[in-house]
Structure 1
Protein backbone atom coordinates (compact mmCIF):
# COMPACT_ATOMS: atom_id res chain seq x y z
CA UNK A 1 0.00 0.00 0.00
CA UNK A 2 2.85 2.43 0.76
CA UNK A 3 4.24 1.95 -2.77
CA UNK A 4 0.88 2.91 -4.22
CA UNK A 5 0.71 6.06 -2.09
CA UNK A 6 4.29 7.03 -2.97
CA UNK A 7 3.57 6.62 -6.69
CA UNK A 8 0.32 8.59 -6.36
CA UNK A 9 2.33 11.39 -4.72
CA UNK A 10 4.95 11.18 -7.48
CA UNK A 11 2.29 11.65 -10.17
CA UNK A 12 0.85 14.63 -8.27
CA UNK A 13 4.32 16.19 -7.93
CA UNK A 14 4.66 16.03 -11.73
CA UNK A 15 1.41 17.94 -12.23
CA UNK A 16 2.29 20.58 -9.65
CA UNK A 17 5.81 21.07 -11.06
CA UNK A 18 4.48 21.55 -14.60
CA UNK A 19 1.68 23.91 -13.56
CA UNK A 20 4.06 26.03 -11.41
CA UNK A 21 6.71 26.07 -14.16
CA UNK A 22 9.08 24.56 -11.59
CA UNK A 23 11.22 22.61 -14.02
CA UNK A 24 13.87 21.63 -11.47
CA UNK A 25 11.19 19.91 -9.37
CA UNK A 26 10.92 17.39 -12.22
CA UNK A 27 14.37 16.09 -11.21
CA UNK A 28 12.62 14.35 -8.30
CA UNK A 29 9.97 12.89 -10.64
CA UNK A 30 12.00 11.38 -13.50
CA UNK A 31 15.14 9.29 -13.56
CA UNK A 32 18.10 11.12 -15.10
CA UNK A 33 17.98 8.77 -18.10
CA UNK A 34 14.18 8.71 -18.52
CA UNK A 35 12.70 8.56 -22.00
CA UNK A 36 9.69 10.80 -22.57
CA UNK A 37 7.40 10.85 -25.61
CA UNK A 38 4.92 13.73 -25.90
CA UNK A 39 4.51 13.38 -29.70
CA UNK A 40 0.87 12.22 -29.51
CA UNK A 41 -0.05 15.71 -28.26
CA UNK A 42 2.24 17.58 -30.66
CA UNK A 43 5.34 17.64 -28.47
CA UNK A 44 8.72 15.99 -28.71
CA UNK A 45 10.26 12.66 -27.76
CA UNK A 46 13.67 12.42 -26.17
CA UNK A 47 15.67 11.90 -23.04
CA UNK A 48 14.72 13.67 -19.83
CA UNK A 49 17.22 16.57 -20.01
CA UNK A 50 16.17 17.38 -23.59
CA UNK A 51 12.46 17.25 -22.77
CA UNK A 52 12.92 19.30 -19.57
CA UNK A 53 14.60 22.06 -21.59
CA UNK A 54 11.85 21.91 -24.21
CA UNK A 55 9.08 22.14 -21.57
CA UNK A 56 10.72 25.19 -19.98
CA UNK A 57 10.87 26.95 -23.36
CA UNK A 58 7.52 25.95 -24.85
CA UNK A 59 4.89 25.81 -22.09
CA UNK A 60 5.29 29.35 -20.64
CA UNK A 61 5.54 30.80 -24.16
CA UNK A 62 2.38 29.04 -25.40
CA UNK A 63 0.16 29.07 -22.29
CA UNK A 64 -0.46 31.65 -19.59
CA UNK A 65 -1.93 28.98 -17.31
CA UNK A 66 -2.18 25.20 -17.23
CA UNK A 67 -3.84 22.62 -15.02
CA UNK A 68 -2.81 18.99 -15.19
CA UNK A 69 -5.65 17.10 -13.51
CA UNK A 70 -4.45 13.50 -13.19
CA UNK A 71 -6.82 10.85 -11.89
CA UNK A 72 -7.75 7.21 -12.05
CA UNK A 73 -4.39 5.48 -12.25
CA UNK A 74 -4.28 1.80 -13.16
CA UNK A 75 -1.11 0.64 -11.41
CA UNK A 76 0.64 -2.72 -11.73
CA UNK A 77 3.43 -3.23 -9.18
CA UNK A 78 6.17 -5.82 -9.63
CA UNK A 79 8.75 -5.50 -6.85
CA UNK A 80 10.95 -2.49 -7.59
CA UNK A 81 9.25 -1.65 -10.88
CA UNK A 82 5.74 -0.73 -11.92
CA UNK A 83 3.65 0.29 -14.89
CA UNK A 84 0.87 2.84 -14.75
CA UNK A 85 -1.77 4.27 -17.06
CA UNK A 86 -3.23 7.54 -15.74
CA UNK A 87 -6.08 9.63 -17.14
CA UNK A 88 -5.28 13.31 -17.57
CA UNK A 89 -7.62 16.25 -18.21
CA UNK A 90 -5.58 19.30 -19.14
CA UNK A 91 -7.21 22.73 -19.61
CA UNK A 92 -4.76 25.44 -20.69
CA UNK A 93 -5.14 29.17 -21.38
CA UNK A 94 -3.58 29.91 -24.78
CA UNK A 95 -1.37 32.99 -25.08
CA UNK A 96 -2.22 35.16 -28.05
CA UNK A 97 -2.68 38.58 -29.55
CA UNK A 98 -6.47 38.36 -29.82
CA UNK A 99 -8.59 40.74 -27.77
CA UNK A 100 -11.53 39.58 -25.68
CA UNK A 101 -11.89 36.27 -23.92
CA UNK A 102 -8.79 34.10 -23.85
CA UNK A 103 -8.85 30.88 -25.83
CA UNK A 104 -8.89 27.65 -23.90
CA UNK A 105 -7.32 24.42 -25.06
CA UNK A 106 -8.76 21.31 -23.49
CA UNK A 107 -6.85 18.05 -23.81
CA UNK A 108 -7.79 14.60 -22.65
CA UNK A 109 -5.08 11.99 -22.65
CA UNK A 110 -3.42 9.19 -20.77
CA UNK A 111 0.10 8.91 -19.40
CA UNK A 112 1.61 5.47 -19.79
CA UNK A 113 4.52 5.22 -17.38
CA UNK A 114 7.23 2.80 -16.40
CA UNK A 115 8.41 3.45 -12.86
CA UNK A 116 11.32 2.19 -10.81
CA UNK A 117 12.18 2.34 -7.14
CA UNK A 118 15.44 4.21 -6.63
CA UNK A 119 17.46 5.06 -3.52
CA UNK A 120 15.55 8.38 -3.56
CA UNK A 121 12.11 6.79 -3.95
CA UNK A 122 9.93 6.01 -6.95
CA UNK A 123 10.76 7.72 -10.25
CA UNK A 124 9.34 7.63 -13.77
CA UNK A 125 11.83 5.99 -16.16
CA UNK A 126 9.59 6.21 -19.22
CA UNK A 127 6.52 8.30 -20.04
CA UNK A 128 4.45 8.10 -23.22
CA UNK A 129 1.42 10.28 -23.84
CA UNK A 130 -1.58 8.61 -25.42
CA UNK A 131 -3.90 11.19 -26.98
CA UNK A 132 -7.62 11.09 -26.47
CA UNK A 133 -8.84 14.49 -27.73
CA UNK A 134 -8.12 18.20 -27.94
CA UNK A 135 -10.59 21.06 -28.29
CA UNK A 136 -9.96 24.80 -28.54
CA UNK A 137 -12.72 27.15 -27.38
Structure 2
Protein backbone atom coordinates (compact mmCIF):
# COMPACT_ATOMS: atom_id res chain seq x y z
CA UNK A 1 0.00 0.00 0.00
CA UNK A 2 1.43 3.36 -1.05
CA UNK A 3 0.49 6.35 1.08
CA UNK A 4 0.12 9.85 -0.31
CA UNK A 5 2.01 12.72 1.28
CA UNK A 6 -1.29 13.89 2.80
CA UNK A 7 -1.92 10.46 4.34
CA UNK A 8 1.61 10.37 5.78
CA UNK A 9 1.19 13.89 7.13
CA UNK A 10 -2.19 13.08 8.70
CA UNK A 11 -0.86 9.99 10.44
CA UNK A 12 2.20 11.81 11.78
CA UNK A 13 0.08 14.72 12.97
CA UNK A 14 -2.33 12.36 14.76
CA UNK A 15 0.58 10.48 16.34
CA UNK A 16 2.01 13.80 17.53
CA UNK A 17 -1.39 14.73 19.00
CA UNK A 18 -1.65 11.56 21.10
CA UNK A 19 1.98 11.97 22.22
CA UNK A 20 1.34 15.59 23.25
CA UNK A 21 -1.65 14.38 25.26
CA UNK A 22 0.56 11.90 27.17
CA UNK A 23 3.16 14.60 27.79
CA UNK A 24 0.55 17.02 29.17
CA UNK A 25 -0.74 14.35 31.55
CA UNK A 26 2.74 13.40 32.74
CA UNK A 27 3.72 17.05 33.30
CA UNK A 28 0.42 17.58 35.14
CA UNK A 29 -0.23 20.58 32.89
CA UNK A 30 -3.91 19.69 32.65
CA UNK A 31 -5.11 23.15 31.59
CA UNK A 32 -3.23 22.59 28.31
CA UNK A 33 -5.67 19.80 27.41
CA UNK A 34 -8.05 22.42 26.04
CA UNK A 35 -5.55 23.01 23.20
CA UNK A 36 -5.92 19.39 22.05
CA UNK A 37 -9.72 18.94 22.10
CA UNK A 38 -12.66 20.50 20.32
CA UNK A 39 -14.90 22.73 22.45
CA UNK A 40 -17.63 20.08 22.61
CA UNK A 41 -15.39 17.03 23.03
CA UNK A 42 -16.38 14.22 25.38
CA UNK A 43 -13.79 12.38 27.47
CA UNK A 44 -14.85 9.01 28.88
CA UNK A 45 -12.48 7.48 31.45
CA UNK A 46 -15.09 5.46 33.33
CA UNK A 47 -13.09 2.27 32.64
CA UNK A 48 -10.43 3.46 35.10
CA UNK A 49 -12.75 5.08 37.65
CA UNK A 50 -12.78 8.62 36.27
CA UNK A 51 -15.86 10.39 34.89
CA UNK A 52 -17.31 10.78 31.42
CA UNK A 53 -17.37 14.54 30.94
CA UNK A 54 -16.28 17.67 29.09
CA UNK A 55 -12.66 18.72 28.78
CA UNK A 56 -12.99 21.44 31.44
CA UNK A 57 -14.64 19.01 33.85
CA UNK A 58 -11.80 16.54 33.21
CA UNK A 59 -9.19 19.24 33.89
CA UNK A 60 -10.85 19.90 37.26
CA UNK A 61 -11.02 16.17 38.02
CA UNK A 62 -7.38 15.55 37.04
CA UNK A 63 -6.06 18.46 39.10
CA UNK A 64 -7.48 16.76 42.19
CA UNK A 65 -7.16 13.06 41.35
CA UNK A 66 -3.62 13.08 39.97
CA UNK A 67 -2.29 14.67 43.15
CA UNK A 68 -2.48 11.13 44.60
CA UNK A 69 0.26 10.00 42.21
CA UNK A 70 3.68 11.62 42.68
CA UNK A 71 5.15 9.67 39.75
CA UNK A 72 3.61 8.25 36.60
CA UNK A 73 4.23 7.80 32.90
CA UNK A 74 1.97 7.29 29.93
CA UNK A 75 3.77 5.43 27.16
CA UNK A 76 1.64 5.45 24.00
CA UNK A 77 2.26 3.05 21.16
CA UNK A 78 0.63 0.72 18.62
CA UNK A 79 -1.11 3.71 17.09
CA UNK A 80 -3.78 2.82 14.56
CA UNK A 81 -5.46 5.61 12.62
CA UNK A 82 -8.13 5.61 9.92
CA UNK A 83 -8.41 8.95 8.18
CA UNK A 84 -11.44 9.94 6.15
CA UNK A 85 -10.99 13.50 4.88
CA UNK A 86 -11.22 15.87 7.84
CA UNK A 87 -12.24 13.18 10.35
CA UNK A 88 -10.40 10.18 11.71
CA UNK A 89 -10.67 7.40 14.24
CA UNK A 90 -7.91 5.87 16.26
CA UNK A 91 -6.95 3.16 18.71
CA UNK A 92 -3.83 3.73 20.82
CA UNK A 93 -2.21 1.49 23.41
CA UNK A 94 -1.07 3.03 26.68
CA UNK A 95 1.33 1.39 29.16
CA UNK A 96 0.86 3.34 32.37
CA UNK A 97 2.98 2.77 35.51
CA UNK A 98 1.75 4.81 38.48
CA UNK A 99 3.20 5.37 41.94
CA UNK A 100 0.83 6.10 44.81
CA UNK A 101 1.58 7.13 48.38
CA UNK A 102 0.29 4.55 50.86
CA UNK A 103 0.72 4.13 54.57
CA UNK A 104 4.37 3.32 55.18
CA UNK A 105 5.63 4.23 51.70
CA UNK A 106 4.49 3.92 48.11
CA UNK A 107 2.80 1.35 45.91
CA UNK A 108 3.56 1.08 42.23
CA UNK A 109 0.99 -0.38 39.87
CA UNK A 110 0.67 -0.65 36.12
CA UNK A 111 -2.34 -0.15 33.87
CA UNK A 112 -2.73 -1.42 30.34
CA UNK A 113 -5.20 0.86 28.58
CA UNK A 114 -6.51 1.34 25.06
CA UNK A 115 -7.60 4.80 24.00
CA UNK A 116 -10.39 4.81 21.42
CA UNK A 117 -10.40 8.20 19.73
CA UNK A 118 -12.34 10.31 17.27
CA UNK A 119 -10.54 13.22 15.64
CA UNK A 120 -11.52 16.18 13.54
CA UNK A 121 -9.39 18.58 11.53
CA UNK A 122 -10.14 22.20 12.48
CA UNK A 123 -8.30 25.11 10.87
CA UNK A 124 -5.68 22.75 9.41
CA UNK A 125 -4.87 20.99 12.69
CA UNK A 126 -6.10 17.76 14.20
CA UNK A 127 -8.02 17.79 17.49
CA UNK A 128 -9.65 15.13 19.62
CA UNK A 129 -13.45 15.10 19.21
CA UNK A 130 -13.72 12.30 21.78
CA UNK A 131 -11.41 10.06 23.79
CA UNK A 132 -12.48 6.93 25.62
CA UNK A 133 -10.47 4.54 27.74
CA UNK A 134 -10.87 0.79 27.50
CA UNK A 135 -9.22 -1.12 30.35
CA UNK A 136 -7.11 -4.03 29.15
CA UNK A 137 -5.14 -5.32 32.16
CA UNK A 138 -3.53 -4.19 35.40
CA UNK A 139 -0.82 -5.30 37.79
CA UNK A 140 -0.83 -4.56 41.52
CA UNK A 141 -3.83 -2.22 41.17
CA UNK A 142 -4.91 -0.80 44.58
CA UNK A 143 -8.30 -2.09 45.69
CA UNK A 144 -9.35 1.37 46.90
CA UNK A 145 -9.06 2.73 43.35
CA UNK A 146 -11.13 0.04 41.58
CA UNK A 147 -14.22 1.41 39.81
CA UNK A 148 -17.55 0.32 41.29
Aligned residue pairs total: 134
C-alpha displacement of 1:56:
1.2
* Counterpart-to-counterpart distance in 1, 2:138 and 2:50: 13
Aligned to 1:55: 62
Unaligned 5+ residue runs, structure 1?
none
C-alpha displacement of 1:83:
0.2
CA contact (8 A) 2:33 2:55 kept: no
2:21 to 14, 28, 37: 14
Bigger Rg over Cα:
2
Q: Does 1:72 align with 2:107?
A: no
CA contact (8 A) 2:30 2:63 kept: yes
CA contact (8 A) 1:113 1:125 kept: yes
Q: Deviations over 1:69-116 (max 9, x none)?
A: 0001111000000000001100011122323xx211100010000000
Unaligned 5+ residue runs, structure 2?
1-7, 142-148
Q: Does 1:2 align with 2:6?
A: no
1:91 to 97, 120, 127: 97
CA contact (8 A) 1:110 1:130 kept: yes
3-state SS of paired residue (1:95) = strand
TM-score when scaled to structure 1? 0.93
* Counterpart-to-counterpart distance in 2, 1:63 and 1:83: 30
TM-score when scaled to structure 2? 0.86
* Counterpart-to-counterpart distance in 2, 1:41 and 1:98: 25
C-alpha RMSD of the superposition = 1.2
Displaced runs of 4 or more, over 4 A: none
Aligned to 1:111: 115
